[in-house]
Structures are given as C-alpha cells and as structure tokens.
A = this chain, B = another copy of it.
Amino acid sequence: MSSEKVTLAHVARLAGVSIITVSRVLNNKGRFSEATRARVLQAANQLGYVANTAARSLRGHPTQILGMVIPELVSPYFAELARAAADAASQMGYDLAVFTTSRDPERERERVGALLGGLADGLIIVVPIGSAGFLASLERSRAPVVLVNHFGAPTHLPVVRADSFEGSLAAVRHLLALGHRRIGFITGAAHSSQATERLRAYRECMLAAGLWDERLVRPGDFTQQRGVEAGHELLSLEEPPTAIFAASDLTAFGVIAAAQARGLQVPQDLSVVGFDDIPTAAHSHPSLTTVAHPIQAMGQAMVDLIIKAKAGEQVRDVLVEFPSELIVRESSAPPRIPGEKV
C-alpha cells in the first residue's frame, strides 16, 4: 500500500525472505517451498509489486516489447499495418510500441538506438530511414530489425514487403479491358517507393497500349483532400479521362467526391480505382475497386522474422514478398458510349 516504487527488497522484507528468493518465486525459476511461495506471492500482491523493466532489461532479460516505426498514425494503411503487427505480436506474447517518424533524421537515429538499447527486443521499421550508412550500422548492430516495404538501398537486413507493381498493372489492365482509353493517374507521396512502383506500372501499361498522355498524370500525396483537387484538375481537362486510378483509396474517395460534386456519377460517368483496400472501401457507395495488400500476413511475417532473429536464426538477406490483389467492386464499369442516352 506504500507509494513510490515497490522493489524486490520491499517484498522480501515483508515476506521475511531474501531478495533473490522473491525473484525466483515471481519468475517461477529454481526451487522453493510451497510455504515461501505463498508468503512471497501474498506480500507482492499486497504491495502491488511490478518488476522494473529497465533493471530487467539491463540484466539481459527481454522486455517482451517490439517497437514499430511508421510514418504516420492517421493513414489507414499504416494504421492497419500496425494493427496487424500488434495482433501478431500479441499472439506471441509481445506488446507493440508504435512510434511515428520524426522529421529530424538525427533524432530518428537516436530513437532507434534508444529503442534497441534496452527498451525493445526488436524493431519493425516501416520507413527506410536515412542513409545506406544508417542501414549498414543497423546491420552491424546485430539487433533484431525488420524493414517493411523497403525498396531502396540494398541491405542485408530482412525485408517484408508487398507488391505494388503487379497489382497496379492489374488495375490499369482492368480499366483497359472495360474499354477505357483515357485513364488518369494520381500519384502517391513523392518520397514513397510504393508510390513510385504504382506510377511505374501505370506508365508502362499506358505506354504499351499506346495511350500514354502526360497530362493525365497528377501529383498526389495519398490524401483525400489532394484527391478532390487532382480529381477536379483531371475532370477539367479538355478531354477528361473516363477512368482514374489513384495511388491510394483515400485519394480515390477524393476523386469520387470531386466527380459527384460536378454532377458526374461513378461508375457510369467515371470509373475510379484505388489502392490499399482500407475498410471503408467495401462499405461505401459505390464500393471501391482497389488493390489489396495481405496486411494480416505481412504483420505475421514481420513478427516471425523478429522472433527468429532474436532466437539467433539466420535472417540475413531474407526477403518475404507478398503479392497484391485486384479487388473489383462497383466503382469501375465500362465507359459510357459517346452519345449514349443518359
């Protein structure tokens, strides 16, 4: 019932045993009589004893905490990724501590070091932080680290990632197969390698079809707001697209809002395809055609790799790559035939 920190010493005094005995009982390690066991447990309970994680960690004991660094919490994609990792971690008896990226790369490096220096047993890094030099120092540290959706500088660290290229190809081909010829594209954030992959697929597909038109590409940033703006830009063109592929679902919803605000119907007047398959995609009207990553499986893979690395298994150069999948819903349909009665 005391205040301030309750240590093993307090429990030991109350139970009338030595510190180490208390430790043994609470960790269920070593031998002790049933009587002491009962007395220690009773004392610990009465005082509300909780082990000091810092001291344990210093002694080499794992914290059962996995750290995860993501660019932002409010993006549904990253939130889902974090949820998947948290679920997988929880199943393995770990807690997941989620951090968002700071703007300052130096601070970033410090934080990563701090996490690995006693706070977390492993680290899931969803953004390629900083330089190749930083990755190299992480490699050398032998700390359990896994990179997620890393497409950048080569590294020996284990990587879990999901395809964006093939899925985007499938999306554009889907629109082509429906009969669309003018297909707009709204990119993702400039620094994102996933965004680069999606643009690359769109570009390759449109070039191959002889339909490439630079004016149909608008810069985006994965947000809904930018989707509204870019949607209006594309629909204001002299020859507006009959379909728009957006690099994220949020952006796609922005496009749909822009179209509807102009009195257009989706998919009758405009087909829209997104990317991510956020929960909302299935429960909106029209429901959204989109490309999905197998997020649950990715979360599982991240945690598995960390745990393997902790156990000393060789994870150097391991690359776990997941496919993406086109999910056709209501927001894509054949273009209205020109002159067709509305």
Which residues of chain A from 214 to 228 have any CB-CB distance to chain B below 8 Å in the complex? Answer: 223-225, 227-228
Contact B74 A83 (CB under 8 A): yes
- Cα A79 to Cα B280 with chains together (Å): 16
Contact A224 B48 (CB under 8 A): no
- Knowing A95-B111, A228-B283, A261-B285 are in contact, say whether A140-B74 is a contact too (CB < 8 A): no
| A65 is an interface residue with CB less than 8 A from chain B | yes
Complex A-B: 11 CB contacts under 8 Å: A3-B140, A48-B137, A51-B114, A52-B117, A55-B118, A73-B82, A96-B99, A96-B100, A97-B98, A223-B279, A257-B284
Interface mask (A48-66 → B, CB under 8 Å = 1, otherwise 0): 1011111101100001010
Q: Could you tell me the distance in whole angstroms from the C-beta of A195 to the nearest C-beta in chain B?
A: 19
| A80 is an interface residue with CB less than 8 A from chain B | yes
Interface mask (A305-325 → B, CB under 8 Å = 1, otherwise 0): 000000000000000000000
Chain B residues whose CB sits within 8 angstroms of the CB of A13 once the complex forms: none
Contact of A285 among B3, B5, B137, B260 (CB under 8 A): B260
Contact of A99 among B83, B98, B115, B285 (CB under 8 A): B98
- Cα A168 to Cα B284 with chains together (Å): 24
Contact of A54 among B76, B119, B283 (CB under 8 A): B119
- Cα A84 to Cα B80 with chains together (Å): 19
Q: Could you tell me the distance in whole angstroms from the C-beta of A253 to the nearest C-beta in chain B?
A: 7
